Structure 1
Amino acid sequence: MKNEIVLRLLPSDAANDATLKGFLAKELKVSEAKITGFYVRRRSIDARKHPVMVQLHVITWIDEPASPEIVVDFEYPQVSAAREVIVVGAGPGGLFAALRLIELGIKPIVIERGKPVGERKKDVALLNRNHPVNPESNYAFGEGGAGTFSDGKLYTRSTKRGDFRRFLEVLYFHGASEEILVDAHPHVGTDRLPAIMKNIRETIIQAGGEVHFNTRVDDFIIEGDAVKGIDIAGGERINGEAVILATGHSARDMYELLHRKDIQLEAKTWAMGVRVEHPQDLIDQIQYHNPEGRGDYLPAASYNFSCQVQGRGVYSFCMCPGGIIVPAMTGPGEMVVNGMSASGRNSPFANSGMVVEIHPEDLPGHQQYGALAGLVFQKEVEQLCYINGGKNVIAPGQVLTDFVNGRLSGDLPPTSYIPGALASPLHFILPELISNRLREGFKMFGKWAKGFLTDEAVVLGTESRTSSPVRIPRDPETLQHVQLKGLYPCGEGAGYAGGIASSALDGERCAVMVAQALGVYRE
């Protein structure tokens, strides 16, 4: 007999198979000898109060052979001679679009301006040693996109974007741990993502698709009201029956290209602010309601804060427990920070973006730039932080309590940011529409989480690449650009996603719409 049992256990009990089996037997009212096998299908942590509990959904077999629950298999047919579609960008949106195209019998030609992930890691390592940023290979550009080096949290709030379980299974099929199919808040880890990205690339190539690195799109081939291909740097022309544009939120030159060609763009709401870092032990104590921290059986604690200040959202973004802060700029003269964590989340620090929602109407002094107003504002703030960080990869920093109270910092607390931080008045450097709201938001978070507002925490600037300030508008039914047939804006760079999962799911949706437009697939 097969049963599904829901148990709420202390973390130590949930982590021990022998103890867990005893609880299952008690719940099912059978002897442990009758349980022939069990499998944890779902695991979540309830840390709302002390003691912290772990909730498990467990598949259990009684008096019959146990069968494995995880059976994941994908078939990628040979498409080397099939119709060709161009995919611009090898981030989550582009790679998952390419995989789905193959499943639908279409050959993807993936164009990526950056390098393969192995070579890209070398450029990232140099950047962490205060070397100048490589504009084509950094934490944002290259195989896997920004997602490869931004923690690997797998989460989406929307249930309308696509099949989230399928997305997880594709990653598992390409080398991710089976834990991502079990945990309520799955996490891959930036140490494991590069190998997974490489495996996805190999799947595409083995199926007959193409992946071109160090290849930047300089223009589109447009005939009438339709896109027929692309021109790449160096003068080569590549034709395709459609173009899926998945260039990511930092490809400013793509927005500028579209703007020059009078291809319609829209300003959109986005967010920017700072990255705040605490000792992980302190966050564990706060979130697990325990002065002794998390103990041996709980993961590094995370948090998720949000509030409204002066009519705008102030919230945590991309929280990285047991993580590090990294330099995420994509060009010279910029200072941008982001966070990431390895699969073990074993750094002594916890960091998170803390950002303020910005609406297009919040930038009256930039309206002459039209749809690119937010992009120009974003650049200006990044340049200010670059100057105040010492004009290299060193970040401007401030003690959290000093930032809130509007005073200068002397020495900064220890930080995970390898290039180093320079004490700077971020409360003054950042525009008031950001700094004033952040200060009030931090005060609220400090009231909700006693100990959060502390001299042990540091803020670094600027966290500016949360999402794109620009949207590339598309028809909601066909997902084609509202002005150009055959152009499918996709993922974060197009303004239709906000992370690894949502970008990947949007890539799959675009691939399906392409297949329908080409007449090779019907739902």
Structure 2
Amino acid sequence: MLRLTEIKLPLDHAPDAVEQAVQQRLQLPPGALRSHSIARRGYDARKRGAISLVYSVDLDLDDEEAVLAAHAGDSRLGRTPDVAYRFVPRPAADASRPVVIGTGPCGLMAALVLAQIGLRPLILERGRLVRNRTVDTFAFWRRGTLSPESNVQFGEGGAGTFSDGKLYSQISDPKHYGRKVLEEFVRAGAPEEILVVSKPHIGTFRLVSMVEHMRATIEALGGEYRFETHVTGFSVGADRHGARCIEGLHLADGGYVEARQVVLATGHSARDTMLALHDAGVALQAKPLSIGVRIEHPQSLIDAARFGQQAGHPMLGAADYKLVHHAANGRGVYSFCMCPGGTVVAAASEPGRVVTNGMSQYSRAERNANAGIVVGLVPDDFRSAGETADGIDPEGPLAGIAFQRHWEERAFAAGGGTYHAPAQTVGDFLAGRASQSLGAVVPSYKPGVTPTDLASCLPGYAVAAIREALPQFERRLRGFALADAVMTGVETRTSSPVRVPRGADGQSLNVAGLFPAGEGAGYAGGILSAGVDGIRAAEAVAASLAAQDQPVRLALRKLAGS
């Protein structure tokens, strides 16, 4: 088949408009187009009030070669890419059972592919089943009762379960692993439109049932789950060549799991796991991250600013945005994890600390839009801060954890010490005065907010950079600097502050058999990219087992030949 891209049509085009546009673009004779299907649908909103839909279409034609020849040089026409997933070869039947730590999108996809290969993975999750976890999370939001092992960050489904459920990414994906992730999600109950729309999303409630369906699939293929099983230590030994290798995992309940292949898919908030890896001598690196706040506007304001008179059109849905500003102090300020028609959620996972994040349901029908407005940091920022929480060396690879904890504790104090979050109106923030009350924009954060001065729980350079950025964002999105817009702090979990470096074989640089993957290891950012990295990790495990098995196979062949 052939794929034709960049077909632009009005929002209210006729049902046969796509077919007519294909016929016209390619000047096809009658009957030459046997059938067509939509491969991708997005929209072009660069001209506010004159928004068009943009299609990519797969074509079944009578004579593909003739059409290609007639339109040689047209970059918008080419062969439909082969996106089918092909499993790597299955290792020997007696291959050791791999262990996956974590059931977020990375661990979930790693476990699924391992199970589909036939390797019957053991999946360890420190948190609870997704529905039990949902009860615990809502209890925290309603009553401020934090369960450190079952919350927005920990439990079946990972942090992405309580998010907008965005399923798009800008990662390089030459093998189309992203398509594999989306197809598995559809099989698990996601709407089929996620295979077509340019910015697919699912929303929290749909993610819950999908996670359950995928768990059932993995178990049916021989995988085994163990919930409320917290890995607290890593046993590292030496192989027959003297190289360091993983041997097993210590558990919080005193148990021990032997393991020779471990996929580390713990997510970006498993700080104690990073400490345990450090204690075991696993190579770690400090990595950049960001800090800032959540900002809320009426969704209707964002819709009007982005879409003009076409705001509210059913083909467009709730509007999103993406903003970047380079401040005079050298800091980059950008919008992060924008949630149209969503809510700001309490995302703490440790007592005495406040963290914010954003979430939307599939309908994106809530009153407010929210996004992180965050400032980029580099490891030197952690070191210069000199924070030494929990005895962490400010010069070491875990310094970012101490940095995050410091500002989360400041936010907890500024909010009143009850998991209420510190909040400030944009008008007060720009004027440099503490908020005594809030205005027309009602904050969605639960269990509640405390009006205050956010400068008390952000680094000074971040405050200065955000104050400079907001008026600049107003120029690009009218109403963004609305005086009554609400800012809630703090947003610290944009990514992992630690990277677990790995080699080309997917394994830790200094501990064989340990396969760092996903957001927690510093190799993904979001549901889709984490799922893709989970597939890569599963394939790396299979390749490792196949390589170990190779000498045995060669010996058997020699014996058979004799």
| Correspondence for 1:334 | 353
How far does residue 485 in structure 1 lie from its aligned partner after superposition? 1.1
Check the 8 A contact 2:234/2:276 in 1, yes or no. Answer: no
User: C-alpha separation between the residues in 1 aligned to 2:510 and 2:85?
Assistant: 39
Of the structure 1 ranges 376-385 and 434-443, higher mean CA displacement relative to structure 2 is found in 434-443
> Structure 1 pair 335/79, CA: closer, same or farther in 2 (3 Å)?
farther
Gapped regions of structure 2 (runs ≥ 5): 63-80, 239-243, 388-392, 550-562
Partner of residue 117 from structure 1, selected from 118, 130, 147:
130
How far does residue 61 in structure 1 lie from its aligned partner after superposition? 6.6
| Correspondence for 2:229 | 215
Partner of residue 244 from structure 1, selected from 241, 263, 277:
263
Of the structure 1 ranges 28-37 and 353-362, higher mean CA displacement relative to structure 2 is found in 28-37
User: C-alpha separation between the residues in 1 aligned to 2:30 and 2:146?
Assistant: 59
Residue 467 of structure 2 corresponds to residue 469 of structure 1? no
Check the 8 A contact 1:279/1:456 in 2, yes or no. Answer: no
Residue 11 of structure 2 corresponds to residue 11 of structure 1? yes
Q: Secondary structure at the match of 1:99?
A: helix
Check the 8 A contact 1:180/1:187 in 2, yes or no. Answer: yes
| Correspondence for 1:66 | none
Check the 8 A contact 2:435/2:453 in 1, yes or no. Answer: yes
Q: Secondary structure at the match of 1:511?
A: helix
Residue 117 of structure 2 corresponds to residue 104 of structure 1? yes
Residue 319 of structure 2 corresponds to residue 301 of structure 1? yes
| Correspondence for 2:414 | 388
How far does residue 472 in structure 1 lie from its aligned partner after superposition? 1.6
User: C-alpha separation between the residues in 2 aligned to 1:161 and 1:440?
Assistant: 39
Q: 2:323 corresponds to which letter in structure 1? A: F
| Correspondence for 2:403 | 377
Q: 1:334 corresponds to which letter in structure 2? A: R
> Structure 1 pair 37/515, CA: closer, same or farther in 2 (3 Å)?
closer
Q: Secondary structure at the match of 1:502?
A: helix
> Structure 1 pair 278/198, CA: closer, same or farther in 2 (3 Å)?
same
Q: Secondary structure at the match of 2:198?
A: coil
Partner of residue 203 from structure 1, selected from 214, 217, 224:
217
User: C-alpha separation between the residues in 1 aligned to 2:5 and 2:289?
Assistant: 42
User: C-alpha separation between the residues in 2 aligned to 1:373 and 1:258?
Assistant: 14
> Structure 1 pair 456/293, CA: closer, same or farther in 2 (3 Å)?
farther
How far does residue 41 in structure 1 lie from its aligned partner after superposition? 1.8
Cα shift readout 1:174-213 (whole Å, capped 9, x = no counterpart): 2211111101111122121111111111111000011111
> Structure 1 pair 282/79, CA: closer, same or farther in 2 (3 Å)?
farther
Q: 1:511 corresponds to which letter in structure 2? A: A
Q: 1:335 corresponds to which letter in structure 2? A: V
Cα shift readout 1:61-119 (whole Å, capped 9, x = no counterpart): 799xxxxx999899999999753011111111111111122233322110000011111
Write the mapping of 1:413-428 to structure 2, written as runs, cut at 5 A. Answer: 413-428=441-456
RMSD: 2.9
Q: Secondary structure at the match of 1:198?
A: helix
| Correspondence for 1:54 | 53
User: C-alpha separation between the residues in 2 aligned to 1:56 and 1:95?
Assistant: 31
| Correspondence for 1:513 | 540
> Structure 1 pair 209/380, CA: closer, same or farther in 2 (3 Å)?
same
Of the structure 1 ranges 80-89 and 122-131, higher mean CA displacement relative to structure 2 is found in 80-89
| Correspondence for 2:553 | none
> Structure 1 pair 380/103, CA: closer, same or farther in 2 (3 Å)?
same
Q: 2:151 corresponds to which letter in structure 1? A: N
Partner of residue 385 from structure 2, selected from 350, 365, 369:
365
Partner of residue 529 from structure 2, selected from 485, 502, 509:
502
| Correspondence for 2:554 | none
User: C-alpha separation between the residues in 1 aligned to 2:272 and 2:458?
Assistant: 25
> Structure 1 pair 519/389, CA: closer, same or farther in 2 (3 Å)?
same
Check the 8 A contact 1:175/1:196 in 2, yes or no. Answer: yes
Write the mapping of 1:126-205 to structure 2, written as runs, cut at 5 A. Answer: 126-160=139-173, 163-205=177-219
How far does residue 393 in structure 1 lie from its aligned partner after superposition? 2.6
How far does residue 52 in structure 1 lie from its aligned partner after superposition? 0.8
How far does residue 392 in structure 1 lie from its aligned partner after superposition? 1.7
User: C-alpha separation between the residues in 2 aligned to 1:3 and 1:80?
Assistant: 41
User: C-alpha separation between the residues in 1 aligned to 2:44 and 2:312?
Assistant: 13
> Structure 1 pair 73/175, CA: closer, same or farther in 2 (3 Å)?
farther
Gapped regions of structure 1 (runs ≥ 5): 64-68
> Structure 1 pair 74/456, CA: closer, same or farther in 2 (3 Å)?
farther
Check the 8 A contact 1:40/1:182 in 2, yes or no. Answer: yes
The alignment's TM-score, normalised by the length of structure 2, stands at 0.84
> Structure 1 pair 19/374, CA: closer, same or farther in 2 (3 Å)?
same
How far does residue 122 in structure 1 lie from its aligned partner after superposition? 0.5
Residue 293 of structure 2 corresponds to residue 280 of structure 1? no
Residue 481 of structure 2 corresponds to residue 481 of structure 1? no
User: C-alpha separation between the residues in 2 aligned to 1:298 and 1:128?
Assistant: 31
Q: Secondary structure at the match of 1:491?
A: coil
User: C-alpha separation between the residues in 2 aligned to 1:482 and 1:27?
Assistant: 52
> Structure 1 pair 469/221, CA: closer, same or farther in 2 (3 Å)?
same
Q: 2:111 corresponds to which letter in structure 1? A: A
How far does residue 60 in structure 1 lie from its aligned partner after superposition? 6.0
Of the structure 1 ranges 366-375 and 266-275, higher mean CA displacement relative to structure 2 is found in 366-375
Q: Secondary structure at the match of 2:358?
A: strand
How far does residue 21 in structure 1 lie from its aligned partner after superposition? 6.0
> Structure 1 pair 179/32, CA: closer, same or farther in 2 (3 Å)?
farther
User: C-alpha separation between the residues in 2 aligned to 1:521 and 1:201?
Assistant: 29
Check the 8 A contact 1:129/1:418 in 2, yes or no. Answer: yes
Number of residue pairs matched?
514
> Structure 1 pair 510/80, CA: closer, same or farther in 2 (3 Å)?
same
| Correspondence for 1:314 | 333
Check the 8 A contact 1:138/1:328 in 2, yes or no. Answer: yes
How far does residue 172 in structure 1 lie from its aligned partner after superposition? 1.6
Of the structure 1 ranges 341-350 and 416-425, higher mean CA displacement relative to structure 2 is found in 416-425
Q: 1:299 corresponds to which letter in structure 2? A: G
| Correspondence for 2:285 | 266
> Structure 1 pair 512/374, CA: closer, same or farther in 2 (3 Å)?
same
How far does residue 22 in structure 1 lie from its aligned partner after superposition? 6.3
How far does residue 39 in structure 1 lie from its aligned partner after superposition? 3.0
User: C-alpha separation between the residues in 1 aligned to 2:82 and 2:362?
Assistant: 21
Q: 2:225 corresponds to which letter in structure 1? A: V
Check the 8 A contact 1:80/1:209 in 2, yes or no. Answer: no
Q: Secondary structure at the match of 2:533?
A: helix
Q: 2:224 corresponds to which letter in structure 1? A: E
The alignment's TM-score, normalised by the length of structure 1, stands at 0.90
